[in-house]
A and B are shown apart, each in its own frame.
Chain A
Amino acid sequence: MTLLTVERIKLFSTRSPWWCMILATVLTVGLTTIFAATVKSQDLADFDPGTTQFAYNFGLVVMMVMSTLAVTTEYRFSTIRSTFLAVPTRTPALLAKGVVVAGLAGLVGEVTAVGSWGLAKVIQPDAPLSLNTANEYRNVFGVGLVYLFASVFALAVGLIVRQSAGAIVIELVYLFLLENLLPAIPRIGDHIQHWLPFTVGDNFIVANQTHHADGPPVIEGMPFGPWGSLVYFAAICLGLFVIGCALAKRRDA
């Protein structure tokens, strides 16, 4: 409990987390608002709760950057050494950081998701935006969980690379290039795609959604249903975090 307090003080006593949180929310909610305001009237029937979450990746990336920085700035300014002096077994301090940072990312994810959906509903009251089915609830509220585990992923990369620029570049290249380009490989590309963590994580949100032009892409033939996808995505992120913690414990600080 005390270590959670420590990480909370650390996170909120500098300005960059605040900026990241504001940026994540404004980007995602702002884009959805513009989208909602410009929907053509003949497409209005397709404007469902799932479609309001099309921009969640923007906020996700920003919160991943915040999570990585929460680790790498500690290395950059050697405050990680003060942390390890205070908690020489190291692991509890890193777990506390994971809980606080990923928890915050999850919270921001929920805020952006609900904010995007809520504003869309206000702007287009005639669109079919009410949440009725379990699917529709998952389409909106599931976003926070993806944020949470993506943040764990980002913390892990930070722990392994220990350097802001390097870690963030790796994440961006992976997220925007590898996960998008690997499926383009002939014959095996589709099979690879079904196991790419962020694609599977996205499947948790969009699975069972009716596909239409404005909505988010739904990939057919995924190996898991929505909750299975979440478990797979979470396992990858947590596994990477365990590796990160093990390295941090073993290496000289």
Chain B
Amino acid sequence: MIEAQGLTKRYGRTVAVNDLSFTVQPGRVTGFLGPNGAGKSTTMRMILGLDNPTAGTVRINGKRYSELHQPLSKVGALLDAKWVHPNRSARSHLRWIAASNRIPVKRVDEVLEAVGLTSVAGKRAGGFSLGMSQRLGIATALLGDPGVLLFDEPVNGLDPEGILWIRQFMHRLAAEGRTVFVSSHLLSEMALTAQDLVVIGRGRLIAQTSTREFIDAASESAVRVRGPEMERLHGVLTSQGLTVRDVPDGDDGPAALLVPNASTDQIGELVGKVGLVLHELSTKRGSLEQAFIQLTGQDVEYQAGRPGVPGGGPVAPPQAAGGVFTPPPANATTPGGNGR
């Protein structure tokens, strides 16, 4: 179990992580989701005691990382697969790490076997492909057979086979009762890997919820309606208290009406009652990417076509149904937007 309390990290005037609190439960894969530059890696480094938080604490099973005795047997981490001396063999790399926490040498061969690197154990790690490096990183994390595992963007740059392998590996680790905390900037990947989500943007918590709830709430569905008598159609729908949006002629097809939070059954029956002709009646579901951008939109640090975020001001809480989102702290303002 990992518990973060008011975790904050400032670099000069930049706030990388801002008053972040969350918990990660054992026995499940918890995704740590956020756009690039949202503060995921910084948070992970603070969990592991590599970076000192400016404020707040983070505890693993009730203890700070620096208080752990032989920490590799409690916490395993893969933050960057390239944290290896390129001229050292995979086996030597694991051997020195194992020795540091009194892990027997035979465990080195076990983890090499577990990640399928036995045949290249004596080769220099600098010659490894990204997939092999990633496997070596996972072997490193597993060395001490820890109950808590952290992975930072483990599938970045991997081929589909590698992605599938890592995904299944994480499910297996969680099924064994371990705490698995894995970061990603891809909601679609997390939808398949994680049962729980901690979502951050610009260093602030956006949501902590189950993946299922997050996706249901995030990807709004709407009904697309089109007919020859658009104005009458519009009137009929609004008279029933439905929100109707006009969609102009475009790539998605000819001009139509979009009715959020409605079902095709409901609209079909409504229109049938007044005897209107329809040319189209379909459900539109937003993609996970769209949903993610919508939720983290204000919280993306580097955004194309929007230089900086001038003015700033309070960030509106994300629109979501069902109240699954924790409200942002009352004093939350856009970093960089206050008093510049």
Binding site for B on A (CB under 8 A): 2-3, 5-6, 9-10, 13-16, 73, 77-79, 81-89, 93, 250, 252-253
A79 CA to B82 CA in the complex, in Å? 9
Which interface class (under 10, 10 to 19, 20 to 34, 35 or more) fits B?
20 to 34
Of all chain B residues, the one with the shortest Cβ separation from A92 is: B100
User: With a CB–CB cut-off of 8 A, which chain B residues contact A79?
Assistant: 83-85
Q: Is the CB of A6 within 8 A of B92?
A: no
A180 CA to B85 CA in the complex, in Å? 37
**Residue B50 contacts which of A3, A13, A85 (CB distance < 8 angstroms)?**
A85
Q: Is the CB of B71 within 8 A of A9?
A: no
Q: Is the CB of B100 within 8 A of A77?
A: no
> Does B49 sit at the interface, judged by CB under 8 A?
yes
**Residue B92 contacts which of A13, A82, A83, A252 (CB distance < 8 angstroms)?**
A13
| Distance between A164 CB and nearest chain B CB, rounded to angstroms | 13
Q: Is the CB of A13 within 8 A of B66?
A: no
User: Would you give the 0/1 interface string for B83-94, flagging 1 where the beta carbon is closer than 8 Å to chain A?
Assistant: 111111100110
| Distance between B244 CB and nearest chain A CB, rounded to angstroms | 53
A78 CA to B81 CA in the complex, in Å? 10
Of all chain B residues, the one with the shortest Cβ separation from A74 is: B85
User: With a CB–CB cut-off of 8 A, which chain B residues contact A9?
Assistant: 92, 95-96, 99
**Residue A14 contacts which of B45, B71, B85, B100 (CB distance < 8 angstroms)?**
B85
| Distance between B234 CB and nearest chain A CB, rounded to angstroms | 58
| Distance between A134 CB and nearest chain B CB, rounded to angstroms | 41
**Residue B65 contacts which of A3, A5, A13, A88 (CB distance < 8 angstroms)?**
A88
A83 CA to B96 CA in the complex, in Å? 9
Q: Is the CB of B65 within 8 A of A82?
A: no
> Does B109 sit at the interface, judged by CB under 8 A?
no
Binding site for A on B (CB under 8 A): 45, 48-52, 65-66, 68, 71-72, 77, 79-80, 82-89, 92-93, 95-97, 99-102, 140
User: With a CB–CB cut-off of 8 A, which chain B residues contact A252?
Assistant: 45, 50-52
**Residue A88 contacts which of B66, B79, B102 (CB distance < 8 angstroms)?**
B66
Q: Is the CB of A88 within 8 A of B99?
A: no
Q: Is the CB of A82 within 8 A of B140?
A: yes
User: With a CB–CB cut-off of 8 A, which chain B residues contact A10?
Assistant: 85, 88, 96
**Residue B101 contacts which of A16, A81, A86, A250 (CB distance < 8 angstroms)?**
A86
* Known pairs A73-B85, A77-B84; A85 contacts B48 (CB<8 A): yes
**Residue B88 contacts which of A6, A13, A86, A87 (CB distance < 8 angstroms)?**
A13
Interface centre among B79, B100, B102 (most CB of A within 10 A): B100
